[in-house]
Structure 1
Amino acid sequence: MTKSSGGAMIVVTADQIRSSSRGDRVPAMLTALESLTLGGRSRAFARTAGDEVQALIADPADAVSAVRLFVREGGWRVGLGIGAVDTPVPDDVRAANGPAFVAARAAVNESRGGAQDLAVVTRVGGAEASAAADDVRAALDLLAFVWRRRTAAGWEVADLVAEGLSRQEVAARLGVTASAVSQRVSTAAVVEADAGEALAVRALTAALG
């Protein structure tokens, strides 16, 4: 017998856009998603049906990182579902069920009408949780707007900064001047995006109830 768990979780479901003309990009996307270290009650991304992938995520920071990877890769609609999950939770996400999965499916459908191909749907009750889910959607839309405009050079600098390198160290690694690094950091909105990710994580934490 299964029952819904007391603690809400996040289901991230992503559907490839125009797969018939772009080919199957699921294997490459799953490889990119392997960079996420999902622990605890989380279940790793897997192909669920056709050109769709899905994961069960406990840590809001991991969910935001996953959205970043989908946006960076391009060509994906992403839905975040927030809610309870049936327990016991199976090892394979494809065998899992619960309100969070229903919410994620609704979010993917809703994302088709969004400017950034993103949506968030919650099955957690209460006005505060609902408002927090709206905040998550707003924060992720703004982040996606920034991420989609980054060049390869911008992502290169952002990745090195994320590793903890100073701007002088980034400059040495890339063989450019520190001022050139500062310009790339500014153009790529690295500082602003980092702040936006922190905001999205806080909102998603609140949405979990």
Structure 2
Amino acid sequence: MFVLTVDQVGSRRESDAVPSLDEVDGANRALVGFDRTAGDEAQAVFDDAAAALTCALGLAIMGTWHCGIGQGQIDLPLPDTAREGRGSAFVNARSAVEAAKKSGSHHLGFVSDDPLGAGIQAALRVVVALRSKQRLTTREAYDLALEGGTQAHIAERLGISQQAVSDRLASGMYRELEDLKAGALHWAEALDRATLPGEARS
């Protein structure tokens, strides 16, 4: 399973954004939804790697959250709230969010008991780094493509030509970054399939 621990960047200067976490793409697929743990930090539990990665990437790309994904065991039965949870996934999520805080502009960490987690983290950080630097016009086209829009549909939505859409997606490295994400997701799912069930809690 996956635990996502997030900590708001610059929380002393900005308004509390924890209540808005449930609106982030992927958050509605959490097994245990976001729950404030302390201050401007929150946690959620996922059994779906795609949802966990989608949610973490979306928050990290915003640049307003440090995001740590911990992959591993979660003690059963599942807790009613994330802050009551125990297991290696929670420990790894704590390590991951601390790594994210030390990573400069990447804002994302991924930690697993398996060494393969370091490779997944590296891939996800490349995605965050490049997407964070995209121009607004490029990001608009990219996000619409992620929603499944065709180039014709995106062109109509943005009031530009299909060639302009193609140029924006190319400059934003859409295919390359989505391939990188797909690879990271594949290995995250493989790690999770290989993880034994968590211990039962008394």
Report the TM-score range of the alignment, normalised by the length of the smaller protein: 0.7 to 0.9
Structure 1: distance between partners of 2:165 and 2:172 = 10
Structure 2: distance between partners of 1:184 and 1:119 = 28
Report the equivalent of 1:3: none
- Could you list the runs of 4 or more consecutive aligned residues of structure 1 that deviate by over 3 angstroms after TM superposition? 34-37
Query: Shift of the alpha carbon at 1:37?
Result: 3.6
Instruction: Say if 2:79 is the partner of 1:57.
Output: no
* Identical residues among aligned pairs (%): 32
Give structure 2 stretches of 5+ with no counterpart: 195-202
Q: How does 1:135-146 map to 2 (within 5 A)?
A: 135-146=119-130
Aligned AA for 1:82? Q
Report the equivalent of 1:18: 10
Q: Is the 8 A contact 2:7 2:66 kept in 1?
A: yes
Structure 1: distance between partners of 2:127 and 2:61 = 11
Report the equivalent of 1:119: 109
Q: Note closer, same or farther for the CA distance 1:34–1:48 as it changes in structure 2 (3 Å cut).
A: farther
Query: Shift of the alpha carbon at 1:27?
Result: 2.6
Structure 1: distance between partners of 2:190 and 2:119 = 10
Q: Note closer, same or farther for the CA distance 1:141–1:23 as it changes in structure 2 (3 Å cut).
A: same
Deviation per CA, 1:161-205: give whole Å up to 9, x if none: 122221122112222111111111112222222111101101212
Instruction: Say if 2:29 is the partner of 1:38.
Output: yes
Aligned AA for 1:86? D
Query: Shift of the alpha carbon at 1:149?
Result: 1.0
Give structure 1 stretches of 5+ with no counterpart: 1-8, 124-128
SS class of match (1:121) = strand
Q: Is the 8 A contact 1:71 1:147 kept in 2?
A: no
Structure 1: distance between partners of 2:185 and 2:26 = 18
User: Which residue, out of 62, 69, 83, partners 1:94?
Assistant: 83
Count matched residues: 192
Q: What is the aligned-residue RMSD (CA, Å)?
A: 1.8
Structure 2: distance between partners of 1:74 and 1:44 = 21
Deviation per CA, 1:73-115: give whole Å up to 9, x if none: 2122111111111110023223222221111112222222213
Deviation per CA, 1:109-160: give whole Å up to 9, x if none: 222221313222223xxxxx32x21111111111111121123322221222
Query: Shift of the alpha carbon at 1:31?
Result: 4.3
SS class of match (1:86) = coil
Shifted more, 83-92 versus 112-121: the winner is 112-121
Structure 2: distance between partners of 1:113 and 1:174 = 37
Structure 2: distance between partners of 1:148 and 1:109 = 20
